[in-house]
Amino acid sequence: MAAALSSKASIAQAVACGTPARRQARFAVVRVNALAQKAEYIWYDGQEGQAVKGAVFNEMRSKTKVLQKPITSMNPAEFPEWSFDGSSTGQAEGKNSDCILRPVYVCPDPIRGGDNVLVMCDVLDAEHVPHETNSRAKLEAIINDKVKEEAPLFGFEQEYTMLAKGGHIYGWPAGGYPAPQGPFYCGVGFESVYGRPLAEAHLDACVKAGLIISGINAEVMPGQWEFQIGPTGPLETGDQVMIARWLLHRLGEEFGIISTFAPKPMKGDWNGTGAHTNYSTKSMREDGGMKAIEAAIERLSKCHPEHISQYGTGNEERLTGKHETCDINTFRFGVADRGSSIRIPLPVQLAGKGYLEDRRPAANVDPYTVVRLLIKNTLL
Ligand code: ADP
Ligand code: MN
Ligand code: MN
Ligand code: MN
Ligand code: MN
């Protein structure tokens, strides 16, 4: 680090600026900057954007804060709040445009390396009230002692589709289609799998960032992939999914690949893109937990419309009853049934305990919102 900063270029730059006194000052600045660490402040805007292949509800945003001291802690409370121009992200009016970024989760920055960090933030308005787009605060508000006692865990299967610049699905023949679906899910080989270098780089980055990522796989539609975050607690799930989404977009800059979370990027006989959310409580994980799983499903069956209304933009194009989904207006559950709304995995049925899988959320769902609805409608 020191060697790099006292390189010939920096010294030449310092020497080039004027009188001996100013030269001295300039050197001092160069030395102080040797301590500087970069913190990438990340947030989501809650704006419908990304015109490419349909809307994505949460657009990731970030900017870099240079901290003039070494970073010695990953405690978000030790990072300063910051602000941004909310009028440029659809979060404020131009006349009163400042929004506050409050650090909530900090991890190593796997791209910059060194002691640099990523800082996930939630958004407050100028009066320090959670912004209306701040779904994290809404989740935090319902976590009471009863919820904590049940120690809910989530496994979030984040599917996404890779696009080339211009919106063409990555790896698909120009102006045409690949072979029909069949060989692509968990596939291997040059003719079946498109975009693995980005998926691998993303997995590496998530691991280096210390995220709890449990795997990746190529999906049913070629050019479509999945990574899984979890099992993680409620807030952690949202924070880590958001950082993983940001990393995917950021690495896409290097690979020249756009990742979209649009629920149905390709009309017709092609699978949509979802975010199955696996969910368990302490009662479900204990012996005889099937009873708690069934009770949770019974309660979920009564608030299907509420979930559907918040499970992603454009999800109606995906939940058709075909392509491993249940029709959007129907609530059905079943063991090992991939055409259900809620699936009980076969190993869970055999063990009589474990977790359930909510198959309804679209890939562009807000993870804090799925987690909040599952907790609210099964535990509270
Ligand atoms: P699928 O067979 O549906 O493709 P995946 O293996 O992709 O399932 O994802 C399952 C997810 O469920 C993983 O993220 C895993 O960590 C998570 N998971 C496993 N056990 C639990 C549990 N008890 N509670 C919540 N999530 C769990
Ligand atoms: Mn500016
Ligand atoms: Mn999966
Ligand atoms: Mn999948
Ligand atoms: Mn699944």
> Which of 49-63, 217-231, 307-321 has the lowest average pLDDT?
49-63
Which ipTM did the prediction report? 0.98
List % helix, strand, coil for the chain (3-state, nearest 5).
35, 25, 45
Note the pLDDT tens digit of each residue in 65-79. Answer: 999 888 889 999 999
Pocket lining: 152 vs ligand 1, CB cutoff 6 Å: no
Pocket lining: 230 vs ligand 1, CB cutoff 6 Å: yes
| Mean confidence (pLDDT) of the chain | 89
Instruction: Identify the residue whose C-alpha is closest to ligand 1 atom 4.
Output: 157
Point out the ligand 1 atom lying closest to the alpha carbon of residue 285: 23
User: What is the pLDDT at residue 11?
Assistant: 37
Instruction: Identify the residue whose C-alpha is closest to ligand 1 atom 12.
Output: 155
If you average pLDDT over residues 238-248, what whole number do you get? Answer: 98
Pocket lining: 280 vs ligand 1, CB cutoff 6 Å: yes
In order, the DSSP letters of 95-130 are TB-EEEEEEEEEEE-TTT-TT-EEEEEEEE-TTSPB
Q: Are 377 and 300 in contact (CB under 8 A)?
A: yes
- The angle, 0 to 180 degrees and rounded to 10, between the axes of the packed helices 367-379 and 135-142 is 20
User: What is the pLDDT at residue 55?
Assistant: 41
1, pLDDT greater than 50: no
Tell me, in angstroms, the distance from the centre of ligand 4 to residue 40's CA. 30
Q: Which of 107, 81, 351, 73 is nearest to 206 (CA)?
A: 107
User: What is the pLDDT at residue 6?
Assistant: 39
Distance of CA 6 to the CA centre of its chain: 38
Point out the ligand 1 atom lying closest to the alpha carbon of residue 280: 24
In order, the DSSP letters of 31-60 are HHHTT-EEEEEEEE----B--TTS-BS--E
User: What is the pLDDT at residue 23?
Assistant: 52
If you average pLDDT over residues 252-257, what whole number do you get? Answer: 96
Pocket lining: 283 vs ligand 1, CB cutoff 6 Å: no
Among 216, 271, 278, which is best to mutate for testing ligand 1, by the most ligand atoms less than 8 A from CB?
278
Q: Which two tokens stand for residue 175?
A: 């102006």
Tell me, in angstroms, the distance from the centre of ligand 1 to residue 214's CA. 8
Share of the chain above pLDDT 90, in %: 77
Note the pLDDT tens digit of each residue in 118-140. Answer: 999 999 998 999 998 899 999 99
Q: Which ligand is nearest to the CA of 83?
A: 2
Note the pLDDT tens digit of each residue in 89-102. Answer: 878 777 778 899 99
Point out the ligand 1 atom lying closest to the alpha carbon of residue 343: 3
